[in-house]
Amino acid sequence: MGRDFIAFQSTMSGTTLTVQRLNKPLEYIPGGGKVNQILSINNNGQATWLDIPSIGDLGGATKDHTHDDRYYTETEIDDKLKALLGANDAMIFKGIVNKNTDLPDTHETGWTYRVNKAGTYAGKVCEIGDLVICVTDGLSANDSHWTVAQTNIDGAVIGPNTSTTNAVSTFADATGKVIKNNSTVTIDDTGLFTAPYIATGTNKTHYFQSAKFRGEGNADVYYHAIDFGYSGHNQVDFHEYGGIWNFYKNTIGTAADGELVASI
């Protein structure tokens, strides 16, 4: 063998690489090496197996230690991470659920399941992709211990950022998923409906039905009113406050172009 060799010396702070040149070539490597022995080579190239000294043999006291300052097994690391996440109520993905009974009776805050089949989970209607999240630890089934985060918005309807008070919402397009603010038509809390006009169409099934018309006021005010015949009122009544009833023939459609045909 050659005269040069490389030796590794382990230290508390790491591994130090040292290079040493021998005075003579390494003659041979003796057999009989055992566990916990190290090959010692002197400057003359002679090699022997020596026992690795213990801390006690080196004159120091044996140091007791725990895994807290040295190393952890895989199981210990997993347990410590779970404890840390659980202490902060972090969401922990536990898998998928296909039916309500897939949710565990014993559960911890943060456990999260993805819905793989639409249905009712913990009392909540869910779609595929929704997340069922535990919000309270428990040892038995309890719907109130779970909440649902909707991630699938198929069929969800969205609207504008702002709206007019009492405005009637109408669809903005043909998708059925977008509504818009329609300030021209309103319904207040008393049921008062306002609109610029109402069209019924021309088909025989399209008509507007009302037992009474009022020009002003409420149903009890008869300054300007028409009562049509209806159950218990088999006549048509016209009411006008001290004015003249004019009847016009109008073939053009504007008020100024009507032809007066009678007055009362």
Indicate the pLDDT class of residue 6, thresholds 50, 70 and 90.
very low
Mind listing the pLDDT tens digit for each residue in 189-228? Answer: 998 899 998 888 888 888 888 888 888 888 788 888 888 8
pLDDT tens string 47-73: 777 776 665 554 555 555 555 555 667
The answer, yes or no, to whether residue 43 has pLDDT greater than 70, is no
Helix (H), strand (E), coil (C) string for the chain: CCCEEEEEEEECCEEEEEEEECCCCCCCCCCCCCCCEEEEECCCCCEEEEECCCCCCCCCCCCCCCCCCCCCCHHHHHHHHHHHHHHCCCCEEEEEECCHHHCCCCECCCEEEEECCCEEECCEEECCCCEEEECCCECCCCHHHEEEECCCCCCCCECCCCCCCCEEEEECCCCCCEEEEEEEEEECCCCCEECCCCCCCCCCCCCCCCCEEECCCCCCCCCEEEECCECCECCCEEEECCCCCEEEECCCCCHHHCEEEEEC
**The token pair that represents 195 in the structure block:** 């609109």
Q: pLDDT per residue over 110-128, tens digit each?
A: 899 999 999 999 999 998 9
The C-alpha atoms of residue 125 and residue 68 are separated, in whole angstroms, by 46
Choice between 134 and 42, residue whose per-residue pLDDT is larger: 134
When pLDDT is averaged across residues 148-173 and rounded to a whole number, the result is 86
Greatest extent of the chain over all pairs of C-alpha atoms, in Å: 144
Instruction: Find the range with the poorest average confidence among 43-57, 150-164, 175-189.
Output: 43-57
> Whole-model pTM?
0.39
- Please give the pLDDT value at position 70: 56
Residue 147 confidence (pLDDT) above 90: yes
Give the integer Cα–Cα distance in Å for 223 and 225. 6
Q: What is the structure's pLDDT at 242?
A: 80
